[in-house]
Structure 1
Amino acid sequence: MPTAKLIRGYEIVIGLENHVQLSTQSKIFSGSSTAFGAAPNTQASPVDLALPGTLPVLNRAAVERAIRFGLAVGAKVAPLSIFARKNYFYPDLPKGYQISQFEIPVVQGGAVEFFVGDVKHKVNLTRAHLEEDAGKSLHEDYDGQSGIDLNRAGTPLLEIVSEPDMRSAAEAAEYAKTLHALVMWLGICDGNMQEGSFRCDVNVSVRKPGEPYGTRREIKNLNSFRFLVDAVNYEVNWQIDEIEDGRKIQQATILYNPDTGETRAMRSKEDSADYRYFPDPDLPPLVIAPEWVERVKSEMPELPAVMAARFVEQDGLPAYDATMMTQSLAFARYYEAARDACGQPKLVANWMMGELARRLNAEGMAVDSEVCIPADKLAWLIRRIADGTISNSGAKQVFEALWHPEGEVFDADQDVDALIESMGLKQLSDTGAIEAILDEVLAANPKSVDEFRAGKDKAFNALVGQAMKATKGKANPALVNELLKKKLG
C-alpha cells in the first residue's frame, strides 16, 4: 500500500459499503417489477409487505449476478450461504426486519485494484452479500407530513463491503468509481446514481500514525463521487477538531448536506448485536453448485484487468494507459475501434485520455452516449498526425471542428482530409522546399549559427523558430529539426 498522506498529523482510515441495485426485472423475493419511476406504492406486492400467509422465493437472476461479481474480484463464491433477518424499526421497512445475509455471505473476500494518478492501489474486500432494499420516506409536498413509498421494498441489492484500506478521500473516490465501472461492465447494475442504483456509505475515522483505529462515523447514502470527496474531507477535519479540543468521537450514522458542505449526526450507530440477526425461517440455505459457478464464468465478458493486460502486451501501452482505456466497456470498445482503424495504439490512448476525455467531462457525456466524433474519424485524424500531414496543435483545431459539426463552416460528414485542407492546417513536408527555407534562415542568422557551433543549444531553438516563422507555422517541426541538424553538421 502506498504511504498514507497525513492530514494535520493524523492518518485517515476509510472503508466503504456500496449498495448495488442488481439489474433484475423483478424483486429479490417476489415477482414485483423493479422499474424506476412508477407511481408510489404501485409495485409493492403482498410478499414485499410480508402480509400473513406470504412466503419469499429467491430470485435466481440476483444470485447469478452475485456470482458474476465474486468471480470478477477474485473472491470465494460460497457453496452455501444463509439469509438472515436484520431487525430494526423504520417507517419505510414494512416487515419490521430486512432480509439480508450476515454470518455466511454469498461472496467472501476479493480485491479491487485502481489508480490514483499514476500510483496503483489495491483495496481488499471483506464480503458482498445479497439483501433486499427498504422503501423510501418522502418529506416534500405533503403539507408538513411524511409519505411512504414502498415501490423499492424488496428490490435486490448486493452490498459490497471493503476493508478499511483507504487513506484519503481521493483514494476512496477512485475505488468507488472503479467499483461503479466494474458492476456496469459486468452488466449486473445500470449504475444510475441519481436513481439510487449505486449508493455509497463511507466509514471514516482518524488516528495518529501507529495507533489503533479510531472510532468511526458512517456517512450514509452518498450518490455522487464529488460529494463523497467533499463529505470525507469535511468529516476528517471535524473529527480532528473534536479530538484536538479534548472531546471523544462517538460512533454515529451521519448525513452529508451538499448545500452547506457539512456532515451532521442522524442517529447513534448500531452494532450487529443491536439488529438481533437470526436465520430467516422462511428461506432455506442458498446452495451454489460448482457447475453453476462454471456456467456463469463461461458467460462473463473479458474482465477490465484482463483486457488491460492484453493492451499492455499486444499494444505496448503503459499499465496506466491500459487501465484508463478499460474504465468502461464502451471506452474500451471505442479504443479498440480507433486503434484497429489507424494502427497507432499509443496515439489513440493519448488522444482519448486527453482531448476526448476533456470534451466528455466538460459536457457531462459518456463515450457510449451520442459522441460527436466516431472512432473511425478520430483514427483518421490520428493517422494524419502520424504521417506528418498535420501537427498535433493543428489536429486539436480539427478535433474542435469535428466535435461541433453543426457549425456554420463545417459539415458533419466532411472528410478529415478535406477539413485539414479547408482550414489551411496541412503541414509543409516537402524536403526540398524546407531545405531551401533553411538555407535562407541560416544565411540571415549567422550569429545564431556561430553560437550553436560554440555550444549554445538555445541558438538551435532560435533557428527552428525562424524557420517555422518563415513557413507561417506550416512546416513539419520534426522534419525541420532533422534537416537543420544535418545542415549544421
Structure 2
Amino acid sequence: MSQQWEMVIGLEIHVRLDTDSKLFSGMKASYGASPNSQVSFLDAGLPGTLPVINQKALDYAIRFGLSVDADIPPFTVFARKNYFYPDLPKGYQISQMDDPIVGPGQVVIETEAGAKTIEITRAHLEEDAGKSIHDKYDQYSAIDLNRAGTPLIEVVSEPQMSNAKEAVAYMREIYTRVTHLGICDGNLQEGSFRCDANVSVRPVGQQTLGTRTEIKNLNSFRFIEKAINHEAKRQIKILEAGGQITQETRLYDAEQDQTRSMRSKENANDYRYFPDPDQLPIQITPEMIAAQRALLPEFPAAKIERYVGELGLKPDDAAIIAHDLRMAEFFEQSNQHSQAAADLNAKFLLGEFSALLNAQGVALAASQIDATAYAGLLDQMANGSVSRKVAKGVLDDMWDTGQAAADIIKEQGLGQISDASALTELVQQVIADNPDQVSSYRGGNDKMFNYFVGQIMKQTKGQANPVQTKQLLEEYLK
C-alpha cells in the first residue's frame, strides 16, 4: 500500500454458540440436517408464537465477556432489528442494541511492532437468520430455515487495526478465546466463526476517519487478509483518481481475489430498533457472573509461560501446543501419566506423533492412541528400553494393533541394548574394522564420530543405547 495512505479496520465477529437448541425456541441447532427439518413455529415466524430465552446462551455470553475483561451490566435488553429479507420470516431479527449483555472489553495481540491492545466495544446476543440458496434452481432461490434462530454473539471491535495482519491476529485471538472457553466449536467451514470487516483508508496523519465499506461473511483467516488488502487498494485507487468512496456492503470473491458491491450500507436507525415487547429485561445477577468466572480456563499465554517456566519446554514448542486446545489437553494428560521429561513429550508429540496423525489423515481428537497409552511409550523411552528411533516404529504398531508399548517391545525383542560388556565388544569391533575412519577422526575430523555411531546402530538395528554408545566410542577413540 502507498506510504501516503493508512488503513483503519474494525471487525464484527459472529460466534455461533455451541448450544443444543436455538436462542428462543427449543428446536435443535445442529449443523448439517436436511433442509428445513429443524424449524419450529417460532423460527418460521408464525403468529402467536412467543420467544423463551436459552439460559445456556446467556451463560456463554457472560463467560466470553469475562474472558476479555469486559463490563457485564446488571441487566440486558433484547431488541427487534427490523428488515425484510426472505430468510428472515418474522420480518425482524431478535438482537440487542442499547443494552447488550457484554460491555467494553479488550484483548492484547502480537504485531510486528510488539504487543497492541484492541478494545472491544461490545458483544451482543442475537439469533441467526436462515440461509438463501441461489444455485440450486435455475429460476428460483431456495430458503433453508434450519439456521434461523441459532444463537450468536456478535463481537464488535473499535476501529483500531491498521493493517490486515493485525486484523488476522485479532480474529485469531477471539477464535482462541471462544474455543478454549468451550462456547463455540470453531468450525470455520460450517460458519461457526465468521466476521464482517469494516475497512476505510485515509491520508497518513489525518485524524478523521474515511468512508468505510463492510466486507461480509469472511470465514477464513487467509481470506480476511486478502479481502482487506484488496479493498484498501480499491479505495486508494478511487481516491487518487479524484473519486469518492460509497458506504456500502461488499462481498469477497476468493477465486477472483476481489470485492464486489452487494448493497448500500445501512445505518442503525434504518433498522428501527426498539425493545422486543415479548421479552422483559433480563437481570444479570452476581451469582450468574461468579458461576461463569469459575469456569474460565487457562488461556494460551498463561499456558506458554507455565510450559516454559515450569516444564522446561522451548518457547516455540510451548506456543504450538498451547494454542491447540486438543493438543494441550493431550499433552497435559500424558504428562500426568508418564515419568518422562515434559520436553521429550513435547518433541515426540510435535514430531513423530503428529506425523503419524497426518499420515492417517485424522485429527488428534480421533486418535486411536489415547493419552494414557501414549504415556506408556514415553516411559519406555525415558527408562532406556527403546530409543526414539525405535519408538517411532512402536508407535506405528500401537496404532495398527491397539497393543501397549511395553507388550510390543517385549514381543518383538525391540528392547534397547544397555549391557556394557556387549556394547564394549561392538565398539571395539567397529573401531578395528574401520582403520581409515579412525585415523581420520584422530586427525581432527570430528564429524567422523557420527559414522561410528551409525555403524553400531546399523548392526544393532537401532537398539544400542545411544548414550552408552557415545560414551564408549569417546573412550576407545582417544
Q: Same fold (TM over 0.5)?
A: yes
Question: Which residue of 260, 263, 268 maps to 1:264?
Answer: 260
Shift of 1:350: 2.4
Question: Which residue of 435, 448, 454 maps to 1:462?
Answer: 448
Mapping for residues 157-176 of structure 1, pairs under 5 Å: 157-166=152-161, 169=164, 172-173=167-168, 175-176=170-171
Q: Does 1:441 align with 2:441?
A: no
Question: Which residue of 190, 208, 219 maps to 2:185?
Answer: 190
Mapping for residues 309-320 of structure 1, pairs under 5 Å: 310-312=306-308, 314-317=310-313
- Between the aligned partners of 1:414 and 1:206, the Cα distance in structure 2 is 61
Contact 2:427 2:456 in 1 (8 A): no
Question: Which residue of 379, 384, 398 maps to 2:380?
Answer: 384
- Provide the residue aligned with 1:303 in structure 2: 298
Task: Describe the superposition over 1:260-319 as per-residue Cα deviations: whole angstroms up to 9, x where unpaired.
Answer: 443322123233343343333443333212122123334x25333555555455434456
Q: Does 1:416 align with 2:412?
A: no
Mapping for residues 91-102 of structure 1, pairs under 5 Å: 91-102=86-97
- Between the aligned partners of 1:467 and 1:33, the Cα distance in structure 2 is 62
Question: Which residue of 19, 28, 31 maps to 1:24?
Answer: 19
Contact 1:441 1:463 in 2 (8 A): no
Shift of 1:181: 4.5
* Percent identity (aligned): 43
- Between the aligned partners of 2:351 and 2:62, the Cα distance in structure 1 is 36
- Between the aligned partners of 1:451 and 1:351, the Cα distance in structure 2 is 37
- Provide the residue aligned with 1:408 in structure 2: none
Contact 1:83 1:99 in 2 (8 A): yes
- Between the aligned partners of 1:174 and 1:363, the Cα distance in structure 2 is 30
- Between the aligned partners of 1:309 and 1:228, the Cα distance in structure 2 is 30
Task: Describe the superposition over 1:201-233 as per-residue Cα deviations: whole angstroms up to 9, x where unpaired.
Answer: 233445666555554432212234444344445
- Provide the residue aligned with 1:348 in structure 2: 345
- Provide the residue aligned with 1:456 in structure 2: none
Mapping for residues 356-435 of structure 1, pairs under 5 Å: 356-360=353-357, 365-368=362-365, 370-403=366-399, 405=400, 412-417=401-406, 419=408, 428-435=417-424
Shift of 1:320: 5.2
- Secondary structure of 2:373's counterpart equals helix
- Secondary structure of 2:364's counterpart equals coil
Shift of 1:253: 1.7
- Between the aligned partners of 2:409 and 2:473, the Cα distance in structure 1 is 26
- Provide the residue aligned with 2:70 in structure 1: 75
- Between the aligned partners of 1:28 and 1:471, the Cα distance in structure 2 is 63
- 1:209 and 1:398, CA in 2 relative to 1: closer, same or farther beyond 3 A? farther
Task: Describe the superposition over 1:60-103 as per-residue Cα deviations: whole angstroms up to 9, x where unpaired.
Answer: 33212211211222221111233333233323223333222223
- Between the aligned partners of 2:337 and 2:251, the Cα distance in structure 1 is 49
Q: Paired residues, what number?
A: 466
- 1:352 and 1:229, CA in 2 relative to 1: closer, same or farther beyond 3 A? farther
Task: Describe the superposition over 1:12-70 as per-residue Cα deviations: whole angstroms up to 9, x where unpaired.
Answer: 5543322122233443334444344254276142476273x554443333212211211
Single out whichever of 64-73 and 94-103 deviates more from structure 2. Answer: 94-103
- Between the aligned partners of 1:423 and 1:173, the Cα distance in structure 2 is 50
- 1:123 and 1:297, CA in 2 relative to 1: closer, same or farther beyond 3 A? same
Question: Which residue of 197, 203, 208 maps to 1:202?
Answer: 197
- Provide the residue aligned with 2:41 in structure 1: 45
Contact 2:442 2:477 in 1 (8 A): no
- Secondary structure of 1:107's counterpart equals coil
Shift of 1:351: 2.8
Aligned AA for 2:55? R
Q: TM-score with structure 1 length normalisation?
A: 0.79
Contact 1:48 1:154 in 2 (8 A): no
Single out whichever of 287-296 and 318-327 deviates more from structure 2. Answer: 318-327
- Between the aligned partners of 2:309 and 2:24, the Cα distance in structure 1 is 45
Task: Describe the superposition over 1:149-189 as per-residue Cα deviations: whole angstroms up to 9, x where unpaired.
Answer: 33433332211123345555555445444433433443323
- Between the aligned partners of 1:427 and 1:210, the Cα distance in structure 2 is 67
Contact 1:338 1:375 in 2 (8 A): yes
- Secondary structure of 2:59's counterpart equals helix
Shift of 1:348: 1.8
- Between the aligned partners of 1:243 and 1:423, the Cα distance in structure 2 is 73
- 1:175 and 1:447, CA in 2 relative to 1: closer, same or farther beyond 3 A? same
- Secondary structure of 1:108's counterpart equals coil
- Between the aligned partners of 1:174 and 1:345, the Cα distance in structure 2 is 29
- 1:86 and 1:336, CA in 2 relative to 1: closer, same or farther beyond 3 A? same
Contact 2:45 2:90 in 1 (8 A): yes
Mapping for residues 3-22 of structure 1, pairs under 5 Å: 9=3, 13-22=8-17
- 1:219 and 1:47, CA in 2 relative to 1: closer, same or farther beyond 3 A? closer
For structure 1, the residue ranges without an aligned partner over 5 or more in a row are 1-6, 406-411, 453-458
- Provide the residue aligned with 1:451 in structure 2: 443
- Between the aligned partners of 2:324 and 2:441, the Cα distance in structure 1 is 52
Aligned AA for 2:136? D
Aligned AA for 1:365? V
Contact 1:26 1:32 in 2 (8 A): yes
- Provide the residue aligned with 1:325 in structure 2: 321
Contact 1:360 1:367 in 2 (8 A): yes
Aligned AA for 1:89? F
Contact 1:337 1:375 in 2 (8 A): yes
Question: Which residue of 61, 65, 75 maps to 2:60?
Answer: 65
Q: TM-score with structure 2 length normalisation?
A: 0.81
Question: Which residue of 79, 82, 86 maps to 1:84?
Answer: 79
- Between the aligned partners of 2:260 and 2:118, the Cα distance in structure 1 is 27
- 1:419 and 1:75, CA in 2 relative to 1: closer, same or farther beyond 3 A? same
- Provide the residue aligned with 2:132 in structure 1: 137
Aligned AA for 1:131? E
- Between the aligned partners of 1:325 and 1:107, the Cα distance in structure 2 is 30
Contact 1:464 1:481 in 2 (8 A): no
